[in-house]
Structure 1
């Protein structure tokens, strides 16, 4: 999912586990807030995944924050 309102790039925790994608623990958790400013019930981001994503022949290295996304595997923000 491409989301122009997203403030970063994210990958679903379940997708990470199913795909056996390596992650790295952050030294400081990143708090997550909903659109209305309330804290997200899934909690803070504590891990990231460093990946190379390819689309239509273009490859880009990207750092994705690992969190629970529900039905989406990834959310790519317009950063």
Structure 2
């Protein structure tokens, strides 16, 4: 299921319109590092190593987050009338921009 939404980046207050993937069975919310690089979105360092696995159970090409990517983004996610602050871990999502977890 994909949803059109707005995200507002905490560190620079810039808003982006994006289509996110929801109900993807992912265990945490993620954002694509290519999207981060393209829009020069500021990131923060992760505190612990988190292994990233694909939906089919294989390890993500980006590897564990602290070994290869070490970043997350703080942003405001708005879907319809609902808005909340959320942290998204930065990793490789292929052609998708954001995966929203069930949490």
TM-score (norm 2): 0.68
Q: Please name the residue that 1:12 is paired with.
A: 32
SS at match of 2:38: helix
Higher strand share: 1
Q: Please name the residue that 1:23 is paired with.
A: 43
Question: Please, which runs of 5 or more residues in structure 2 have no aligned partner?
Answer: 1-20
Question: Please, which runs of 5 or more residues in structure 1 have no aligned partner?
Answer: none
Deviations 1:17-40 (A, max 9, x none): 111211001132211123454432
Q: Please name the residue that 2:54 is paired with.
A: 34
Q: Please name the residue that 1:78 is paired with.
A: 102
Paired residues in the alignment total 79
Mean CA deviation greater in 61-70 or 49-58: 49-58
Write out the 4+ residue segments of structure 1 that deviate beyond 2 Å after TM superposition.
33-41
CA contact (8 A) 2:26 2:55 kept: no
TM-score (norm 1): 0.86
